[in-house]
Structure 1
């Protein structure tokens, strides 16, 4: 359905949202230099690092460069999602397995009263944020439209070359966009259409997976845009 050129069907709304974000994001990534791409504005940043030089316990990647990843936990921003999963009938064991945490940790979160304390999340570089998005969408495509067998953490060869990273990223995003444009109404409602092994995708209708993917794209690209603004302003602040 269209209303004066604007799609109002469920898939159309999600596609239009994706396209709008992609258009803005492409502008914001133009001219990204290698130095800016790996800039660490504060000590302790997560980034991409040479194999053997990573400082985080679960850094991953198939090649010479790894994407930082720390010990598994459920961030405070996801407490409400965990509560929703439990209310919808998902077992504590399944929730713990999805988040790679202990059953005790899930029970602790479900028993939490009052607003959660803000997360002490690491600051991440543009290289990390772009690599994270690349990994998520490459894995999402493989486990929804591909052979559903490749380990997502082996799909992206992270690189210190900003131009190459951006080029590879847009290739993955364009493949994702092309595939989701073919999804039928029945597939949108199919639980487990995506079998992505990290998180709750196999337990959700595919339309919820697409909504979550757009959200991931939006919020990480907003963070990248802010980092680019800070990079430009790093030597222009007042004393």
Structure 2
């Protein structure tokens, strides 16, 4: 494939990566039905649920359905990220605030040596993963390009309908993509261009926020693709 005339600036590379990922995701999500969307392949899954049936202490959402969320902690898979934050000059107090944990918990993570124990976190459904991405992209747009006032956790009306969820999800993703496509070089380097209230976005140059959004999208879509494969072969040992 020829590369003559291809742009290789930072934004173009990130946009091309995101566009390819969304193309693959749209194809992989085609035909998603309600039963598969809400399928819980193991006991103790996190999902979306009617408000009165939430099984987690911090389940959230503005409407009749909420997204499961447990007590705050720093998962083992994020220990390296916490170490990078501290090495980059972020205070222990700020890290604790971003992760909604105690200073003592951050200090425990920073003092950890050797390989972390595997995370003991619940398996999440396709509905949960899509909902998680949806409010992240909706909130990402609000706090970088919008009014910077709405709580991301109250911006998405979670629904048991796969078709409705996908329609709303792609609207949020497309709006994010259109806005990011117009970002200037100066804005890419601006620390605090995104004021997203959860995590460290407000302390990073916006180019890092865009790269992080790409990573979040890609890894959750890969998980969703695997869940779709498991759904397809769930009834026969051979998968045929």
When the two structures are superposed, what TM-score results if normalisation uses the length of structure 1?
0.98
List runs of 5+ in structure 2 lacking aligned partners.
Answer: none
3-state SS of the aligned residue for 2:66?
A: strand
The SS at the match of 1:210 is helix
SS of residue in 1 equivalent to 2:198? coil
Aligned match of 1:141? 141
Task: Say which SS state the counterpart of residue 52 (structure 1) adopts.
Answer: helix
Q: Distance in 1 between matches of 2:89 and 2:23?
A: 39
Q: Does 1:41 align with 2:41?
A: yes
Greater displacement, 195-204 / 115-124:
115-124
The whole-number CA distance in structure 2 between the counterparts of 1:118 and 1:144 is 34
> What SS is found at the alignment partner of 2:49?
strand
Q: Which has the higher mean CA deviation after the structures are superposed, 79-88 or 123-132?
A: 79-88
> After the TM superposition, which parts of structure 1 deviate over 3 Å for at least 4 consecutive aligned residues?
none
2:109 aligned partner? 109
State the 1:3 CA deviation. 4.0
CA 1:97 to 1:178, structure 2 compared with 1: closer, same or farther past 3 Å?
same
Distance 1:45 1:210 in 2: 29
Q: How many angstroms apart in 2 are the aligned matches of 1:182 and 1:190?
A: 14
CA distance in structure 2 between the aligned counterparts of 1:4 and 1:45, rounded to whole angstroms: 48
Cα offset, 1:98, TM superposition: 0.3
Q: 1:71 and 1:4 mapped to 2: Cα distance?
A: 51
Distance 2:3 2:90 in 1: 39
Q: Partner of 2:213 in structure 1?
A: 213
Give deviations 1:122-157, integer Å, cap 9, x for gaps. Answer: 100000000000011001000000000001111000
Aligned to 1:119: 119
1:237, 1:4 → 2: CA distance? 49
Q: TM-score, normalised by structure 2?
A: 0.97
Question: What is the deviation of 1:52?
Answer: 1.0
Q: How many residues align?
A: 238
